[in-house]
Structure 1
């Protein structure tokens, strides 16, 4: 998990993940969309692949990248755990503030 978070925390790799959420893309498409050099994009894709964030398939001379669904699901579950934690805390804070306001008004 930490390797995946570290991989997508770099801004260009995050942008690649954002592009791939709309579907698979070739390296050339990613290079064009991000206006980065091909070696730089290939390096970022290799790191994302090593972290298990993306998968690659060969189609003739092209390499097509797509998001690895299991990795994205794992990250989503992790984030949702924090969302539930903070939602509960905010509910308790709201109740505390309501109770405190009632006591101040009494």
Structure 2
């Protein structure tokens, strides 16, 4: 599945946001996100297949965490925009500083 399709779903974005704070098992994610376990498992499978999350088995529990390099295609696409906007904001900041001096 395309990386942008992966993050197009708001539930998958919420899962990624939650895992950004640290690894969690399915039960913890169900509790934090307030979605059913079958729906969560479906979204976790999509995220795992896309390489956005890793899973480790700990006894009967599956622990999910963000992958080391999740969604590289999204990062590659957005980076040039981020650089342009950051440069524009830096330039604006310098102009304001010069005007205030």
Deviations 1:62-98 (A, max 9, x none): 0000001212566445422211234557789xxxxxx
Tell me which protein shows more helix as a share of its residues: 1
For the residue of structure 2 that corresponds to 1:82, the secondary structure is helix
1:71 corresponds in structure 2 to: 70
TM-score of the aligned structures, taking structure 1 as reference length: 0.73
- The structure with more radius of gyration: 1
How far the C-alpha of 1:53 sits from its partner, in A, is: 0.5
2:14 corresponds in structure 1 to: 15
Matches within 5 A, 1:25-104: 25-71=24-70, 75-87=74-86
Unaligned stretches of 5+ in structure 1? 93-106
Q: Is the 8 A contact 1:7 1:48 kept in 2?
A: yes
**In structure 2, distance between residues paired with 1:88 and 1:23:** 32
Q: Is the 8 A contact 1:20 1:65 kept in 2?
A: yes
Aligned residues: 92
